[in-house]
Amino acid sequence: MIRLVPRTDTPALLQGSTPVLAVLATMLAGGLLFAIMGYDPVTAIRTIFWDPLFGPAASYSRPQLLVKAAPLILIASGLAVGFRAGIWNIGAEGQYIIGAICGAAVALAAYPAPEMWIFPAMVIAGAAGGWAWGMIPALLRNWFGASEILVSLMLVYVAQRIAAWMAFGPMKNPEGFGMPGSRNLQQYPAAANPELIVGTGAHWGVVAAVLAVLATWFLMSRHIRGFHIRAAGTAPRAARFAGVKPETLVAFCLGLSGALAGMAGLFEVAGPAGQITDKIGVGYGFTAIIVAFLGRLHPLGILLAGLLLALTYIGGELAQLTLNLPGATVQVFQGMLLFFLLGFDLLTRYRITRRIAA
């Protein structure tokens, strides 16, 4: 029988290099998969990881990198704070959707007013919506001990139904000829989240993502609250002894990650997506979980991991177009990445023995 025995000391180098190893292993396993499916593995891998940035069509796909990376990084920054404390918000996707709906609601209510306050108010509404959606699992956990993992995850599906209802009902564009979906906010200047520097893809969400990285880095390394979060994650009793109320921490972490996810949703609906549809949630909230872990729950790591995962999105689409790879390629890649990451992580903390102990 194979057993896992905890390592007494983990080499620091090994710990830091697991994300890189996981990416390499994903490329290898992905290439193998493509070979089995009858594609040329080298071309496929190059199309996914190289061509979006440096290939012939790079001028189109490169700006997409920031567009896709911004929500991932914004959401993952918040999630990582909670994960550090051992509070597992799996429902960022739901908070993202509700944030988008709340932010869009402000714009649609104000339409067609041209005032300057509209966009900032949308950002606040988006954050508040995500915060409120995150507070539901927080309060249920604090009051009844309900698992925030299950509650937050289930609330994703509730949020998706609400989005569909909004798209077909209250928020439907009155001038949309009966088509589902709200007004397009990109065509409403006071509410739009435009590309700030032409050709880069950078919109306000990118600015917010960078700020979120800096803010969470400051929180986790310089502020006592971040210290308490880290303490609670590794030694909950010591954190309580220090004066941390577990209930406060649960509310803070779920609220923070919810607010950031809600903001990401708002930036998306006011920018790249443009309108509320029943398909406003495209999985950023789930992919951000991979981003957080691939980035070692560290703000800088999350920045890099967000860019990498964004690359797989774009590369996957490119491979679909040019090589006719199936659409599920991206998910398979992301799944493999998380699998290898967790696998390598396990092996840095445990070693495999074949001895049978008591």
Partner 1 sequence: MTEGAVLRAEGIGKSYPGVRANDDVSFAVAPGEIHALLGENGAGKSTLVKMIYGLVRPDDGRMLLNGRPHQPADPRAARAAGVAMVFQHFSLFDALTVAENIALGMENPPPRRALSARIAQVSQDFGLPLNPDRRVVTLSAGERQRVEIIRCLLQNPRLLIMDEPTSVLTPQEAELLFATLRKLAAQRTAILYISHKLEEIRSHCDRATILRHGRVVDSCDPRAHSARDLAAMMVGGDMRPIDRSGRQAGEVLLQVKGLSQPAPTADATALKSVALTLRAGEILGIGGVAGNGQDELLAALSGEIRNAPGTILLEGADLSRLGPEARRAAGLLAAPEDRLGHAAVPDFSLTDNTLLTAGARKGLVRKGLIDRPAARAFAQDVIRAFDVRTPGPETAAKALSGGNLQKFVIGREVMQAPRVLVVNQPTWGVDAGAAAAVRQSLLDLARAGAGVIVISQDLDELLELSDRFCALNEGRLSAPLPTQGLTLDQIGLMLGGAHGMEVAHL
Site of interaction with partner 1 (CB under 8 A): 222-225, 227, 230-231, 234-235, 237-243, 245, 355-358
- Closest of 85, 83, 87 to residue 141, by C-alpha: 87
Query: CB-wise, 4 or 179, nearer to partner 1?
Result: 4
Burial class (CB within 10 angstroms; exposed 0-12, middle 13-18, buried 19+) of 38: exposed
Query: CB-wise, 46 or 240, nearer to partner 1?
Result: 240
Contact by Cβ (8 Å): 95, 258: yes
CA distance 21 to 14: 9
Query: CB-wise, 1 or 116, nearer to partner 1?
Result: 1
CA distance 22 to 251: 33
Q: Which long-range contacts (CB under 8 A, 24 or more apart) does 115-123 make?
A: 115/190, 116/190, 118/190, 118/191, 119/190, 119/191, 119/192, 119/193, 119/204, 119/270, 122/191, 122/266, 122/270, 123/204, 123/208, 123/263, 123/266, 123/267
CA distance 10 to 208: 36
Q: How many CA atoms lie within 13 A of 295 on its CB side?
A: 33
Residue 134 beta carbon to partner 1: minimum distance, rounded to whole angstroms: 22
Query: CB-wise, 198 or 354, nearer to partner 1?
Result: 354
In whole angstroms, how far apart are CA 333 and each of 32, 33, 45, 73, 290?
12, 10, 11, 18, 11
In whole angstroms, how far apart are CA 305 and each of 42, 93, 191, 299?
23, 18, 30, 10
